[in-house]
Structure formats: C-alpha cells, structure tokens
Amino acid sequence: MSEQITFTIDGVEIKDKAGQTIMQAADEAGIYIPRLCRHPDLPPRGSCRVCTVFVNGKPQAACTQPIAEGMTVENDTPELKESRRNIIDMLFIEGNHFCMFCEKSGNCELQALAYRLGILSPKYPYFFPKKDVDSTHPDIFLDLNRCILCGRCVEASRDVDHKGVFEFVGRGIEKKIAVNAEADLKDTDFAATDKAADVCPVGAINKKRTAFSTPIGKRLYDTKPIGSEIEERKK
C-alpha cells in the first residue's frame, strides 16, 4: 500500500499514501478538520459528523473516508462551518452542559470546538433531559448529563482494555451509555488505569480527586483553539 495519491483540500495539493483517511492526510499536511468523536488511538466511528467535508461535491466524514487520486475536498467553507455549528449546538442542547462547574471545563473538546466556531449561545431550545449520575465507583464518576455519545469509551473498553464495561443502550434520542452491570459502575471491573478512563472528550467520565488541578489560563484550550497543534505543523 505504498501507492502515492494526490488530491486537494480547499485547493491545497496534498500527497499521501493510499489507505490513509482524508483526516489523517489533512493532519499530516497541517490542515485541521474539526472533529469530536475521533480519538487518535481508536478506530474512527464517524458518529458525531463534525468532520463532514465535501468530497467531489458529496458530503463524507473525513475520519472514515479514504483518500483517492484526484479527489477534491472542501473543508473550510461557510456552509460546512454552519453545519458543524449546528451539530455542536445539538450536542449542547440534547444534554445538560453546565460548564461553570464542570471538571473538564477548559480541557473539554466539545467546549473547545464551540469556542473555535465562535458560538456565543446555541440556536436551538434546550431539552433539559433527565440523565443519571453514577458515583458508586471508588475512583471514577460518570455524569451522563455531559455524555455526547461519541462511543470512545465503548471502543476503548472493548478493544483496548478487553473489558466491555460500556455499551450503548436504547435508540434514537433515548440512546445512552450503560455499564456492564445491573446498574452501577462499581459492579464492573472498571479501573481508573483503563484506557476507557482517559478518552472521554467531555466531562462524562471523571477520575475522582483530580479535578481543577490546572489553574484557569493554563488549561488546554484557554488561549489556543483546538486544532492549533495540527495547524502548527503547516510550514
């Protein structure tokens, strides 16, 4: 699979080897495609749809779509910016995201994307759903008010930790994360050292006794937008 492929993103010519996804190739070229469910250590799921780009005019998820010779990718367009904004808005209103007391604030990928897109307030009405909090585990607490159903913990626990602690239950707007026990996280073999404990993009899976350790101003996204680390690769 060393075949070389040439294509463009927003007019910039990119060369990469066959088998790469659009997102991988863009990352290497220093072009940031906004994303949320994607975690570099886990297989792409294409569930959040934030990374939707136009490939030869057709919408595709950049995290799952392989590159192909001569393809034209549009990423930074007003239409896509609007679509991404809509998705971020949807994630905010379908949950209960109280940033001001959230342990993850400043390091949260959902919040950071909203900052990057310049969202001052969501345009949709809040659902104020009833969600569960599970603090039964000695080292971890789950707050499903903040869960965005990215599936990272499901994949990490199943494929990396080989424990299968998390799985989706329900469908549609009722879909949620459940744990591999009758009810409580304490009854699973989940451990704070699991990969699944480290992959949550928001404040849904939290390690106890570690919150607010970074002062405001020094947190990941306080001064630099999410994606800057990728854009800095660009020469």
Give the binding site for other proteins (CB under 8 A): 44-50, 52, 59, 61, 64-66, 79, 82-83, 86-87, 90-91, 93-94, 96, 98-102, 105-106, 111, 114-116, 118-122, 124-130, 148-149, 164-175, 178-182, 216, 222-223, 225
Cβ proximity to other proteins: between 26 and 50 the closer is 50
Q: Encode 32-53 in three state secondary structure.
A: CCCCCCCCCCCCCCCCCCCCEE
Cβ proximity to other proteins: between 15 and 127 the closer is 127
CB of 50 to other proteins, least distance (A): 8
CB of 28 to other proteins, least distance (A): 21
Cβ proximity to other proteins: between 87 and 156 the closer is 87
CB of 215 to other proteins, least distance (A): 13
Residue 99 CA to residue 102 CA, distance in Å, equals 5
Residue 83 CA to residue 23 CA, distance in Å, equals 18
Cβ proximity to other proteins: between 14 and 190 the closer is 190
Cβ proximity to other proteins: between 58 and 235 the closer is 58
From 230, 32, 220, 214, select the one nearest 111 (Cα to Cα): 220
Tokens of 9: 């993103």
CB of 135 to other proteins, least distance (A): 16
Q: Are strands 4-9 and 72-74 parallel, antiparallel or unpaired?
A: parallel
Q: What SS3 state is found at 124?
A: coil
Residue 184 CA to residue 41 CA, distance in Å, equals 27
Cβ proximity to other proteins: between 13 and 38 the closer is 38
Residue 142 CA to residue 146 CA, distance in Å, equals 9
CB of 144 to other proteins, least distance (A): 12
Residues in the chain: 235
CB of 154 to other proteins, least distance (A): 9
**Alpha helix ranges (H) inside 121-207:** 152-155
Q: Are 133 and 144 in contact (CB under 8 A)?
A: yes
Tokens of 74: 């549009």
